[in-house]
Amino acid sequence: MHPRERLIAAINHQQPDRVPVDFGSTAVTGMHVLAVTRLRRALGGDPQYRVKVIEPYQMLGEIDSELLDKLGIDVVGLMGRKTLFGFENRDWKPFTLFDGTEVLVPGDFQVRRDDRGGLLIYPEGDTSVPPSGRMPEGFYFFDTIVRQPPIVEERLDPADNLEEFSPLGDDDLAWYKRQSTALASAGRGVVLSMPGTAFGDIALVPAPWMKHPKGIRDIAEWYMSTALRKDYVLKIFERQCEIALKNLETLIGLLGDLVQAVFLTGTDFGTQQGLFISTKAYRQLFKPFHQQVNRLVHQKSSWKTFIHSCGAVSELIPDFIEAGFDILNPVQCSAAKMDARTLKREFGRQIVFWGGGADTQHTMAFGTPDEVYREVRQRIEIFGDGGGFVFNTVHNVQATTPTENLLAMFRAIRESSR
Domain contains 226: yes
Task: Enumerate residues 6+ apart whose C-beta is below 8 A from 5.
Answer: 16
Contact 16, 200 (CB under 8 A): no
Domain contains 48: no
CA 83 to mean position of chain CA atoms: 12
- pTM confidence score: 0.97
Domain contains 58: no
Domain contains 45: no
225-262 b/e with 16+ CB inside 10 Å = b?
bbeebeebbbbbbeebbebbbebbeebbeebeebbbbb
Domain contains 109: no
Q: 201 φ, ψ to 5°?
A: -65, 120
H or E stretch including 250? helix 230-255
Q: What is the chain's length? A: 418
Per residue, what are the HEC states of 168-193? CCHHHHHHHHHHHHHHHCCCCEEEEE
Q: List the domain range (segments joined by +) for residue 200.
A: 3-30+71-82+146-415
Amino acid in the structure at residue 416: S
- In whole angstroms, what is the distance from residue 243 CA to residue 185 CA? 31
Q: What CATH number corresponds to the domain at position 75?
A: 3.20.20.210
Give the closest residue to 193 by CA, choosing from 264, 112, 280, 284.
264
Domain contains 139: no
Q: How far is CA 111 from CA 57, 127, 324, 385, in A?
A: 12, 8, 41, 47
Amino acid in the structure at residue 149: P
Domain contains 257: yes
Spell out the per-residue pLDDT of the chain, length 418, in tens: 999 999 999 999 999 999 999 999 999 999 999 999 999 999 998 999 999 999 999 999 999 999 999 999 999 999 999 999 999 999 999 999 999 999 999 999 999 999 999 999 999 999 999 999 999 999 999 999 999 989 999 999 999 999 999 999 999 999 999 999 999 988 999 999 999 999 999 999 999 999 999 999 999 999 999 999 999 999 999 999 999 999 999 999 999 999 999 999 999 999 999 999 999 999 999 999 999 999 999 999 999 999 999 999 999 999 999 999 999 999 999 999 999 999 999 999 999 999 999 999 999 999 999 999 999 999 999 999 999 999 999 999 999 999 999 999 999 999 997 6
Structural domain tally of the chain?
1
Domain contains 89: no
DSSP string, 329-395: E---TTSTT--HHHHHHHHTTTSEEE--SS-TTTHHHHS-HHHHHHHHHHHHHHHTTTS-EEB--SS
1 SS3 class? coil
